[in-house]
Amino acid sequence: MTLQTTTDTLPAPSRFSVRTVLQNAGIGRALLALIIFFSVFTEHFLTPNNITNILTQITINLVLAVGMTFVILIGGIDLSVGSVMAFAAVVAGKAITLPGFGPAEAIALAVIAATLTGVLCGLINGAISAYWALPSFIITLGMLNIARGAALQVSDAQTIYSFPYAFEEFGSAMIYGVPVVFLVALVLVFMAWFVLNFTVFGRLLYGIGNNEEAVRLAGQSVRRYKIAAFTICGFTAGIAAVVYMARLNISSPIAGIGFELNAIAAVIIGGTSLSGGRGSVIGTLLGAFIIGVLANGLILIGLSDFMRQMITGVVIIFAVILDHYRAKYAAT
Amino acid sequence: MTLQTTTDTLPAPSRFSVRTVLQNAGIGRALLALIIFFSVFTEHFLTPNNITNILTQITINLVLAVGMTFVILIGGIDLSVGSVMAFAAVVAGKAITLPGFGPAEAIALAVIAATLTGVLCGLINGAISAYWALPSFIITLGMLNIARGAALQVSDAQTIYSFPYAFEEFGSAMIYGVPVVFLVALVLVFMAWFVLNFTVFGRLLYGIGNNEEAVRLAGQSVRRYKIAAFTICGFTAGIAAVVYMARLNISSPIAGIGFELNAIAAVIIGGTSLSGGRGSVIGTLLGAFIIGVLANGLILIGLSDFMRQMITGVVIIFAVILDHYRAKYAAT
Amino acid sequence: MVAATQTAAQAPAHSTQFLSVERLKKYFGGVKALDGVSFFLEQGEVHALVGENGAGKSTLIKILSGVFPYDHGAISLDGQTYRPQSPHEAKERGVQVVHQEFNLLDHLSIAENISIEKLPRNRFGLLDRPELNSRARKALDAIGLTDIDVKAPVSTLGIAHRQLVEIARALQSESQILILDEPTATLTERETKRLFELVARIKADGVTVVFVSHHLDEVFEICDRVTVFRNGRTIATDLIAETTPDGIVQRMVGRQLAGEMVSGDEQKDFGGVALSVQNLRTEANPTDTGVSFDLRYGEIVGIAGLVGAGRTEILRGIFGIDPVRSGEVQRDGETARFSGPGDAIAAGIGFVTEDRKDEGLILDMPISANISLANINSVSQAGLLKFAAERRQATEAGEKLKLKYGRTADPASSLSGGNQQKVVLAKWLARDPKVLLLDEPTRGVDVGAKAEIYAILKDLARSGVALLVVSSEMPELMTLADRILVLAEHQIQGTLQRADFSEENILKLAYGQTELAGGNSQ
Amino acid sequence: MADDKPKVGLIMKSLANEFFQNMMAGAEAHQEKRGDYELLAVGMQNETDFESQINAVENFITQGVDAIVVAPADSRAMVRPLKKAMEAGIVVVNFDVALDEDAKKQQGIELAFVGPDNRGGAKLAGDALGKKLGEGGKVVIIEGNPGADNANQRRMGFEDSVAEYKLDLLDSRTAHWETEEANTVFSNMLTAHPDIQGVMAANDSMAIGVVKALESAGRTDIMVVGFDNIPAVGPMIEDGRMLATVDQFGTDMAANAIDLALEVVGGGGELKGWVKTPIELVAAQ
Ligand SMILES: Nc1ncnc2c1ncn2[C@@H]1O[C@H](COP(=O)(O)OP(=O)(O)OP(=O)(O)O)[C@@H](O)[C@H]1O
Ligand SMILES: Nc1ncnc2c1ncn2[C@@H]1O[C@H](COP(=O)(O)OP(=O)(O)OP(=O)(O)O)[C@@H](O)[C@H]1O
Ligand SMILES: [Mg+2]
Ligand SMILES: [Mg+2]
């Protein structure tokens, strides 16, 4: 409610106008349709337990997708997030299992190690693609390989385990049935929403995605902002690593394979344009929900694996088609 | 030589001018550097046998990358090629092992089945993304899931084998040490190059990637061309399936996972812009060679797997950085 | 002028009303872009559409050319209903158009751009390159671009050349109606003349031409009839022969326009040298001497020259966009090395670019965000945007420049061309620069608003700002400038003081002559 | 005179997999110890990357190795390239997953298989669960990559147990060998079938994900078996969160196969058939 009022006095138009709300509602409607469908077809779907499960299950993708939103908004892409997450988890796993630290210190160390690793990888992605004006697709594809190789090398391809008990606690803690890790993701969404809509930084990111040259000619350092966007994306990969570790209590060097596609899908299903400049992190939130609900619901209704994969593809396509019609009517 | 002369009289400016040759030479230089490096560091690299190996090994990626070039040139992307290849291979595998056909008919049937499956999937990709003006990233991501699920379903997750002997023959046949399947890929490259540069269709594809709205305002049917580009990409996925089957003598429903990234990488390393409108299939050829030579050479010099993965990432990044400097100097 | 009266006299006597538009309406959400437009075209006439910025001219044209559909009303063409669903359909019916904003394929060659609607095929069905190039060659020669390589990509062209390529393209196909939306906005006299010759020629072939311009003298030179737009409606259609420019202006604005601005001849005292350019050569400048001049505080210096003379490149060089090959720029007497626009802006310089679509505006972002782009720090605190302040800034700028818009939150793309131009100006005015570089500052701006802009620029100069104005409109330079540098072939051919200002003198220098009618080149 | 030593090409699966990584380490240690041969090892990018195994065979032929020891990613795809290697006079030994009998017959080759059988191993784990649950016990299977040979075999092994102990198989799904996916997939299976009593996971990484899902759901009544015996499951078996896993002694597997290959290279007789290696159920003491 308070948000609503703030918005009325502080409109950040292309992101929070009636139109954008409708736009989000559009994909929101696809989500609603899915939820109704699953509720009707399986009694287990709308149970508190299952809702908790869904929230837990979308957390990692949501965290990654928040960072990915920044990168896609400036017209870039980051294929390395899954690998970077694994690398960060492995580094943090090494840190947390170092002998001679109390649980609190060990956890702090791990969190710092994970985020630093993520930030560093993101910084490298951003610096190289911005400095030489190279396609981020290729640079981050390179990083995908580098980070994965590094994760395997550092861990010697072994799963790292036996973390402090407090860390597990955090991973499985709930507040009124809502997983704490999901709340962490929500906080990230909120922060991203705030930054994108209410700060100069966010404004310029949208500007760069729309017309980089115009922003450059207005005297802004486009490079710096691009680097920042990739760094944020690396940061969220680091946070995702922490969530992964807390949830599963291990660090696996082969974690996160293919996560980049899921994160990108959440962003784009959420209405952010791959060519940059348009979209919102609220859309990303809904996109992540669509993917998560779909994965959950299709198992609950007992579809076989292969059918499930096919139906997932079909529903993703239908969701964006539906969204298209919504956007069309909203526009006229 | 003949080409040179033709070029003088029929310059296709942005593609076959001195500048473009230089541009290709740029990435060609990175390739040359790799080749020299490996030749120096391992005696096995420049042996006829190994060259044959490399040619065989890059064939499938090259075939896929040729189709991908069309899609990327119009500013699209096709994430489904790997899955579609698997699906086409499985369908063709079912066809080729049907009882009651002589080898010749069985092979013909398989080739038709594979290309038709590919074309159909590509057509669907193109039709949906063009008709509703939806991001091809999401549509083809949907298709990735659909085709993979379908491949597993049709084959019941079993590898299909025991193809006619003549088919294997074709897969391993050589002409002066050059694998026939590679020649097939080369023919595709040549055809693509020809179509892109010497036909109205090709020029309009460049135009659409460059500025879709302008082409539409010029009274052209943009949709039809977009659908055509995706269909071509599906077609090459079908051809890749045939090559795969001939080479490996099996159809596996889990073939081709991640092939889309390799194909896209070949296209982009080859200098085609992800945002469309600029690039050449000759560049794609070089891009595919870079990826193939790298994979081959790093194994030959005996790098460990993890190191190899890291180095692959590093070299990919370096190749495009090198290319950047070349482009810069070529421009002045 | 003689020619003009003749054409007017030849206005078709037998009315062959073959396109008629009745009570046409088009809404964009709440914005009534067209709110009752009625007029008709006669075969073989040149018909002018005039009106203030945002009056609805381009909207009508986009409807006629099938870019988007209309909401109410009726159009008939050749006695049949006309409701084009796509540009393709419009072209099939013989309607050809040059839009106000460019629609070129940057990475394709000029030749390919010119023939993009119907690329020639040889007998094998393949692209016929020799034919493609020779067609383009002919088309460019016809509009006087003889020195341009048709195989070069469009991205190498300056803005005026792009406009000419657009025109050449539209002239390629047979059409019965040719619509030109502000084709002359970026052209210099020479190109405009040649365009008019072409228009006369195709008119003689029976083609109907619709012509949009904010230059009434042009309208009077080539048109037979004129339809005036105001606020999305057509006010009247007149025979040119029966009206006067003043009459049209009055109809356009719905009131008497305040008398022409007094071109202040008062003696001015300029401050110190704000900007000094010495032997400046950018990458695009092939000469080895470069360009040198001084610009003082309070002074307005104009730069004239033909298309491609190298005017834009000077501004880009000063502003740090293009690398400087040799020579230097001094700011307040100190050598300035700008590594990018950011440095130039920090040194108090502003730059209004000629290419608003690609360089000036972020089309999808709100008007207010575009206006605050260069001075975002003044509408933010600690990195947080102050939306109220930003909106206020936009509203104020809008009032000052007579901007016609819905809400400040609407995207810049919803504005008409002239209004977009005003937003680009507003962006830099909001920044309070000490030195302002302007490249075609009034491109596409209507008569009334132009006068306002001139007043604003003069006020700026009076308050001590140094202005450097590049323009293809000689009257504009003569109204604004204290001094005009005339460029030819990337070099300053001569400098004109106020006393020597005349179109003739400018043209002579621009064509490379040094003998002047009045004074002398220095 | 290092060049005189015989060269052995070892073709592994994805070394990103702990099991094969350990196997690889075992092979390297073995080479160090014996010191009388040169080891060239190649893995693959991922499990489905059959091409790189085939490429590896081709590369090894090029490099002129004396023996190839291979853990095939696909029991059918590898037959023909290996035949090529044999024709080039290279000794080939197959381990981990046996090449497809029909395919071998078709190509007219015969070669030895060294190792335990994935199916048998899985059955060992399944039997442990079956014994505990008894007839009618409600179980689910978490499969490996569909289409991958060892995944198929392990699934079949589990299904053998299901049949033998007349268990009630409620659901069977893939989690692609991955912990996080197993966690998600199993959580959802548990929602759909709250009455699950036992879980058979095709590898330990997935078993860990299952155990975590049970913890989050607060269920202590469900028994889990895995496969591979990776160190991370040690504590879980110890404290009863997991019932059992299967150890194939992967560390030695490649080494054993190399020994056999070297024997043949050194003039020993031809190898045929199935050389079984040990396999063991690991459960709490
Ligand atoms: N896509 C759009 N969305 C919303 N409003 C629009 C859109 N296009 C045009 N308008 C509005 O329609 C009105 C008419 O614009 P139009 O471009 O037709 O003016 P114009 O007469 O061509 O002006 P100019 O002389 O400046 O080119 C303007 O108020 C403009 O803001
Ligand atoms: N962005 C650009 N890239 C490459 N060449 C350019 C570019 N802009 C202009 N040129 C070329 O540089 C030369 C000088 O152009 P410039 O734009 O400075 O001339 P101008 O006098 O401003 O003319 P215009 O009316 O075209 O703006 C011309 O030959 C033009 O084709
Ligand atoms: Mg207009
Ligand atoms: Mg200019």
Taking only the tens place, the pLDDT of each residue in A267-314 is: 999 989 888 898 999 999 999 999 999 999 999 999 999 999 999 999
pLDDT of C402 reads 86
Q: What is the mean pLDDT of residues C349-368?
A: 93
Give the number of other CB atoms < 10 A from CB of residue A48: 9
Strand order in the sheet with C334-336: C291-296, C273-282, C324-331, C334-336
Q: What are phi and psi of C497, to 5 degrees?
A: -90, 165
Are the C-beta atoms of residues A132 and B321 closer than 8 Å to each other? yes
Q: What is the mean pLDDT of residues A36-61?
A: 94
Token pair belonging to D18: 């702990």
DSSP state, D73?
S
**Selected residue with higher pLDDT from C352 and C285:** C352
**C-alpha Rg value of chain D to the nearest Å:** 20
Q: Do chains D and C touch (3 or more CB pairs under 8 A)?
A: no
By alpha-carbon position, which residue is closest to atom 12 of ligand 1?
C33
pLDDT of C306 reads 86
Mean pLDDT of chain C: 88
Residue C109 zone, left/alpha/beta (φ > 0; ψ -120 to 50; rest): beta
**Selected residue with higher pLDDT from C341 and A327:** C341
pLDDT of B42 reads 87
pLDDT of B10 reads 30
Residue D285 burial class via C-beta count within 10 angstroms: exposed 0-12, middle 13-18, buried 19 and up: exposed
Residues 6+ apart with CB under 8 A from C119: B200, B203, B204, C112, C127, C132
Percent of chain C with pLDDT over 90: 64
**C-alpha Rg value of chain A to the nearest Å:** 20
pLDDT of B16 reads 44
Angstrom distance (rounded) from CA A110 to CA A96: 5
Residues of B with CB under 8 A from a CB of A: 79, 128, 132-135, 137-139, 141-150, 152-153, 157, 261, 264-265, 268-269, 273-275, 305-314, 316-317, 320-321, 324
Angstrom distance (rounded) from CA D56 to CA D50: 10
pLDDT of C521 reads 43
One-letter identity of residue B74: I
Question: Helices marked H in C146-209 — which ranges?
Answer: 159-170, 189-204
Measured between beta carbons, which residues in chain B are less than 8 angstroms from residue A316? 138, 141-142, 145
Q: Of A116-125, C347-356, C443-452, D227-236, which gets the smallest average pLDDT?
A: C443-452
Report which of B151, B120, B123 is spatially closest to residue A307, judged by C-alpha positions: B151
Measured between beta carbons, which residues in chain A are less than 8 angstroms from residue D187? 53, 56-57
Token pair belonging to C77: 């063409």
Min Cα–Cα distance to chain B from C16, Å = 27
Q: Show the beta-strand stretches assigned E in chain B.
A: 160-161, 174-175, 178-179, 250-251
Residue with tokens 């060239």: D40
Token pair belonging to B157: 């997750």
A158-172 burial string, b = 16+ CB within 10 Å, else e? bbbbebbeebbebbb
Are the C-beta atoms of residues C262 and C479 closer than 8 Å to each other? no
Taking only the tens place, the pLDDT of each residue in D201-216 is: 999 999 999 999 999 8
Report which of A158, A162, A188 is spatially closest to residue A58, judged by C-alpha positions: A188
C421 lines ligand 1 (CB under 6 A): no
C415 lines ligand 1 (CB under 6 A): yes
Token pair belonging to C53: 């910025």
pLDDT of D19 reads 82
Looking at the predicted structure, is the pLDDT value of residue C365 above 50? Answer: yes
Q: Of A8-22, A74-88, A117-131, C399-413, which gets the smallest average pLDDT?
A: A8-22
pLDDT of A216 reads 94
pLDDT of C14 reads 47
Min Cα–Cα distance to chain D from A165, Å = 13
Token pair belonging to C190: 């020479």
Nearest CA in chain D to A297: D188
Beta strands A174-175 and A178-179, pairing class: antiparallel
Taking only the tens place, the pLDDT of each residue in C288-298 is: 888 999 999 99
Taking only the tens place, the pLDDT of each residue in C191-238 is: 899 899 999 999 999 999 999 999 999 999 999 999 999 989 999 999
Are the C-beta atoms of residues C320 and A218 closer than 8 Å to each other? no
β-bridge partners, D113: D94, D274
Q: How far is CA A199 from the centre of its chain?
A: 21
CATH topology of domain B43-331: ABC transporter involved in vitamin B12 uptake, BtuC (1.10.3470)
pLDDT of B7 reads 28
Which of C28, C407, C423 to mutate for ligand 1's pocket (most ligand atoms within 8 Å of CB)? Answer: C28
pLDDT bin (cut points 50, 70, 90) of residue A118 is very high
Min Cα–Cα distance to chain B from A301, Å = 17
Q: How far is CA A105 from the centre of its chain?
A: 27
pLDDT bin (cut points 50, 70, 90) of residue B2 is very low
pLDDT bin (cut points 50, 70, 90) of residue C31 is confident
pLDDT of A2 reads 30
Taking only the tens place, the pLDDT of each residue in C134-170 is: 999 999 998 888 889 999 999 988 888 999 999 999 9
Taking only the tens place, the pLDDT of each residue in D62-99 is: 888 999 999 888 888 888 889 989 999 999 999 888 88
Angstrom distance (rounded) from CA C398 to CA C429: 12
- D102 contacts B53? CB cut-off 8 A: no
C447-472 burial string, b = 16+ CB within 10 Å, else e? bbbbbbbbebbbebbeeebbbbbbbb
Question: Which chains have 3 or more CB–CB distances shorter than 8 Å to chain C?
Answer: A, B
C363 lines ligand 1 (CB under 6 A): no
Are the C-beta atoms of residues B266 and B288 closer than 8 Å to each other? yes
Query: Which domains does chain C show, CATH number per domain?
Result: 1-94+174-256 (3.40.50.300), 104-160+167-172 (no CATH), 273-510 (3.40.50.300)
Q: CB pairs below 8 Å between A and D: how many? A: 95
Which of C156, C443, C509 to mutate for ligand 2's pocket (most ligand atoms within 8 Å of CB)? Answer: C156
Angstrom distance (rounded) from CA A24 to CA A290: 12
Measured between beta carbons, which residues in chain C are less than 8 angstroms from residue B217? 65, 67, 87, 99, 103
pLDDT of D77 reads 83
Mean pLDDT of chain D: 89
Angstrom distance (rounded) from CA C161 to CA A332: 37
C387 lines ligand 1 (CB under 6 A): no
| Span from the CA of C214 to the centroid of ligand 3 (angstroms) | 10
HSE of C460, CA atoms in CB hemisphere, 13 A = 29
pLDDT of B331 reads 44
Pairs from C156-160 (Cβ < 8 Å, separation ≥ 24): C157/C110, C158/C307, C158/C308, C158/C312, C159/C186, C159/C312, C159/C354, C159/C355, C159/C440, C160/C186, C160/C187, C160/C188, C160/C191, C160/C307, C160/C308, C160/C472
Token pair belonging to C216: 């009434």
- C365 contacts A206? CB cut-off 8 A: yes
Residues making up chain A, counted from first to last: 332
**Selected residue with higher pLDDT from C2 and D98:** D98
Q: Which of A300, A305, A309, A312 to mutate to test the interface with D (most CBs of D within 10 A)?
A: A305
Taking only the tens place, the pLDDT of each residue in B112-128 is: 999 999 999 999 999 99
Are the C-beta atoms of residues C488 and C305 closer than 8 Å to each other? yes
Residue with tokens 């032929």: D61
CB < 8 Å from A in window 200-219 of D: 205, 208-209, 212, 215-217
Are the C-beta atoms of residues C115 and C136 closer than 8 Å to each other? yes
Taking only the tens place, the pLDDT of each residue in C249-262 is: 888 877 655 544 54
Q: Does residue B116 sit in helix, strand or coil?
A: helix
Taking only the tens place, the pLDDT of each residue in B283-322 is: 999 999 999 999 889 888 878 778 988 999 999 898 888 8
Are the C-beta atoms of residues C374 and C382 closer than 8 Å to each other? no
Q: What pTM, to 2 d.p., does this model score? A: 0.90
Mean pLDDT of chain B: 87
pLDDT of A10 reads 30
